[in-house]
Amino acid sequence: MKALHADGQLTILGQHQGVAAQALSISALAVLTAIGAHVEIPHQPVPFTLQTFFVLLAGALLGKRNGALSQMMYLAAGLAGLPVFSSGALGLAKLIGPTGGYLLGFPVAAFVVGYLLESRTQFMWALLSMCIGALVIFSLGTLHLYFVYYRDWSLAIANGFFIFSWWDLLKIAAAAGIYTTVARAKRG
């Protein structure tokens, strides 16, 4: 639920809830990210998935801290042996493989989006914030892809960054639309 607090912070499902409600919200976004990993279009070395959609929503809806926590929970579930990553993969191998940089960028991106959206609900600001969050994910992913897979910047950038642009613009627009709709409904 969204509220404007004495400290000026605007939250939708964030830190100003009770502990149980926060834990539920954090867990829900971690589970949605896992579900998004299984909605995939195979592509090598990194598949197209819906994960980033939920990462961006986690930051927007939960705020910087809880959004990042939801993504750390998602990563911890995979490291603990739950098949939450794309293609049903699990464990440390997924984090050190070609997709590792993207996955490790999830908590950072959720934090950045949550930080940028503090006290803001305008669609264009949400769109810009989520573009920056996606840029964080794809920059870290491309950097990691270069070091562990390609060792060629042009291939890493083409296959780790640009190839996802069209797909992620759709996810960013949808996530920003959902965030602003929820924020307006909670405000009203």
pLDDT digits (tens, 9 = 90+) for 57-75: 999 999 999 999 999 999 9
pLDDT of residue 13: 63
Q: What is the pLDDT of residues 25-39, one digit of tens each?
A: 999 999 999 999 999
How many CB atoms are located within 10 Å of the residue 114 CB? 26
Examine the pLDDT at 153 and tell me if it is beyond 50.
yes
How much of the chain, in percent, has pLDDT values that exceed 70? 91
Into how many domains does the chain fold?
A: 1
pLDDT of residue 1: 39
More confident residue, 176 or 43: 176
Q: What is the crossing angle of helices 153-160 and 123-145, to 10°?
A: 140
CA distance 179 to 126: 8
Identify residue 150 by its one-letter amino acid code.
Answer: Y
The distance between the two most distant Cα atoms of the chain, rounded to a whole number of Å, is 52
Examine the pLDDT at 9 and tell me if it is beyond 50.
no
Examine the pLDDT at 17 and tell me if it is beyond 90.
no
Examine the pLDDT at 160 and tell me if it is beyond 60.
yes
Closest CA relative to residue 74, chosen from 113, 46, 110, 115: 110
Using an 8 Å Cβ cutoff, are 133 and 112 in contact?
yes
Could you tell me the pLDDT band of residue 12, with boundaries at 50, 70 and 90? low
Output the six-digit token pair for 122. 């305008």
Q: Which range of residues forms the domain containing residue 117?
A: 3-187
The pTM for the full model equals 0.89
Average pLDDT over residues 5-22: 63
Strand ranges in the chain using DSSP code E only, listed in sequence order: 3-4, 10-11, 40-41, 48-49
CA distance 171 to 188: 26
Strand ranges in 124-174 using DSSP code E only, listed in sequence order: none
Mean pLDDT of the chain: 89
User: Residue 36's domain is classified under what CATH number?
Assistant: 1.10.1760.20
Closest CA relative to residue 64, chosen from 126, 115, 11: 115
